[in-house]
Amino acid sequence: MNGGLFSFPNPVNEVSARLVAGGVVVLSVVAIALDQPWLTALIAYGFVARVLAGPRFSPLALLVTRVITPRLPVREKLVPGPPKRFAQGIGAVLTVTAAVLALGFGQHLAAYLVLGAVIVAATLESVFAFCVGCTIFAGLMRVGLIPEAVCAECNDIWSRVPASP
């Protein structure tokens, strides 16, 4: 990982990103199923930490990148970092909102509904390699709201999808 303390990796190993998303799904489902609103703060911390510094300060991301991914019999798949950071930013907004609703206002149902949206997006990433935030990022690039210089290699996310044989 290059850059300073608060830098985001570019490229990102999609295998690790998908595993982190799977961890987010598990934590979020546990928070809702066991009615543990304090977990929303833990989940939100992980997203904020990953937006600010990649896996460097996120316990879940550290577990995935340092322990789980290196032990898997799969090759890394490198993808551009900026769309993944954007996706983490969306997750941060949603999970911080859920944490504030649950812990600040005692609105557990509302918090869990927001967390439900996170579960859907993280499941799509983890199971199907479909990154909702990355797709939004690509759309924003196409309409010019995100300059091409931010991520020239990811202007068209579909160019990275291998063609069917």
63-92, pLDDT tens digit by residue?
999 999 999 999 999 999 999 999 999 999
Range of weakest confidence among 8-12, 14-18, 30-34, 120-124: 8-12
Q: 89 CB contacts (<8 Å, ≥6 apart)?
A: 51, 133
CB of 53 closer than 8 Å to CB of 8:
yes
List residues bridging with 79 in a β-sheet.
12
The predicted model gives 103-126 an average pLDDT of: 98
Please, is 68 exposed, middle or buried when counting C-beta atoms within 10 Å of its C-beta (0-12, 13-18, 19+)? Answer: middle
At 149 the pLDDT is: 84
CB of 94 closer than 8 Å to CB of 110:
no
Longest dimension (CA), the chain: 53
153-164, pLDDT tens digit by residue?
664 444 544 444
pTM to 2 decimal places:
0.89
At 154 the pLDDT is: 64
For residue 1, the Cα-to-chain-centroid distance in whole angstroms is: 17
14-48, pLDDT tens digit by residue?
999 999 999 999 999 999 999 999 999 999 999 99
The CA-atom distances, in angstroms, between 117 and each of 48, 107, 131, 153, 157 are: 17, 16, 13, 28, 22
Q: Residue ranges of the domains in the chain?
A: 12-131
| Residue 62 reports pLDDT greater than 60 | yes
Distance, in Å, from the CA atom of 126 to the CA atom of 33, rounded to the nearest integer, reads 20
Confidence bin at 5 (pLDDT 50/70/90): confident
